[in-house]
Structure 1
Amino acid sequence: MTEPLFPANSLATLRARLAILPRPDETAAEAAGTRQANLTKPPGALGRLEDLAIFMAGWQGTERPRIGKAQAVVFAGNHGVCAQGVNPYPQEVTSQMVANFRAGGAAINQLCRASGAELSVVELELDRPTGDFTQGLALSEAELLEAMARGAEALDPTADVLLLGEMGIGNSTVAAALAYATFGGTAADWVGRGTGSDDAGVQRKITAIEAGAKRHAALLDDPFTTLMAFGGREQAAICGAVLAAREKRIPVLLDGFICTAAAAVLARLEGDALAHCIVSHASAEPGQRGLLTHLGKAPILDLGMRLGEGSGAAVALGVLRAALEAHNGMATFAEAGISGA
């Protein structure tokens, strides 16, 4: 890429800059695979840990990838579709949870500390929710580009891995709408209970998504206009961060359903825009299984989690670190003087 992706003054400009996406270093990945084959273990004995080490080698461009700096970012936004009664909690909770993140009192704070990730929180106009997508666009083109740019700006270019999470009352409805628009099926296929919706609340989510899909049918064959149709700002920021990380060849750990649904919109772009992304865990939200199937990605963990906040990504970081410790620290058969390998 000759120009940075962001800022972009139009979607046409952004699309032009996305014409060629960086690819992993196949030579480095092959060298890492050769190293794995010569470590003191039966081939494949460490299972997914071996694959993760080779994946990281390709994106870092070195046979022995390392994680010096792990950056975790939580994006927070509010949603106009909450006017349709899709969430049992008021939108003030978004701001209150952001304050909790900043005070160090949330689950993500503890999990980032445990896994060695540096956490930051990006608030996206919490006093100005997106538009109600049952009544009109959630985001204008300018608002979409601004939110994506905020996501890109949050990336630390010196990070070795990026962990992404979100916070926003109502955003499980937005995630389900994005997944429905991107992969089809029925709205009900993608809707879960989120923060604790009862049966009537789940039905309100489905009704809202169906109404939005009908209203915005002409926009749903393109990833960026799909984001304009349904929002929210945190989902757009996640997409901006994912693309900026790809530009810098930084691997990404996506969190659960909401985060994965946001990034999944980019799967429609040419060049496998999510090739540098790992899905951290199989969220207990029912739509996550469908996303994993459509994206062809296997999660690192399956712990029944559904909190959001980047919590699954923070836990998965520990596994990723373990994969690299084994890859880099184990002796080869030759080094250990073990014969007959």
Structure 2
Amino acid sequence: MKAVVQDMYGPTEVLDLRDIATPEPGPDDVLVQVRAAGVNPADWHCMTGMPYLMRLMGFGLRAPASRTRGLDVAGRVEAVGTNVTRFRPGDEVYGTCEGSFAEYARGRQDRLAPKPANLTFEQAAAVPTAAFAALQGLRDRGQVQAGHKVLVIGAAGGIGTYAVQLAKAFGADVTGLCSTTKTELVRSIGADHVIDYTRENFADLADGARRYDLILDTAGNRPLSLLRRALTPGGTLVLVGGEGDGRWLQGVDRTLQAMLLSPFTKQKLRGLMSTERNADLELLTQLIEAGKVTPVIERTYALGEVPEAIRHLEQGRARGKIVIAM
């Protein structure tokens, strides 16, 4: 089969489309014929091996432990392991797996779910990782409640577009922060208010009494002091990821600062490391099929264009998700 693989860490030039052996499903695994795969910042981090901290966490010290890139997947079941009872060949599924930038990918049955009936394969592949982060950031770390005033920073991005819709589904009053060219998109997915950060400083607006019970920061580069100014005295800040210049931490240091400061303030300052949960994937399926959440896809690329897709994502200008279509 054809797959996008890498033998060393580095820029997009290390990615190579080549023929490799089709993976064999283990007893608890499902072999999926990939129809589409989502592109995420994690793919860039795994490609570059940056920050160095992730290498110490088991991703491979000198070279990637897993050579095939891609995590989010949507496709049809090709074969199942001996212990698999939830799926059979021909089923349409989506979720996460190992190496989805390929014609076939192997995934655990507890990391997959039936594809939402109202989504295409491309739309389904855009859901898992970004929607997990948005859901767990709002519900688990942010403890969002109906009536809460929620600010989503990076509202037009991959995670942000899900966060706006999920916060609305939870009954919150949602403000989206984005650039001028993305304001209409953010309004179209349900934001009650939109702030164009090129024209207004949301922290200055907070000084005028517009403060938030919950801020979900998906953009990852604003100082904690600025974010805290926009929080209510007992509000919650959730940092989803983070970007920076350091080779070792690249923005993780801001999350560490928040965690160290949080015990000394009434405001709750939290980081997020989202996880792949089957129960959350099933909840997302319900919300999608109910019409409360719809994936936003900016563009699709072919399998041989994965380097271009990752370069586009790295620029930080994508509206919603980027998808690889087979």
* TM-score, L = length of structure 1: 0.29
Structure having the higher helix fraction is: 1
Structure having the higher strand fraction is: 2
* TM-score, L = length of structure 2: 0.30
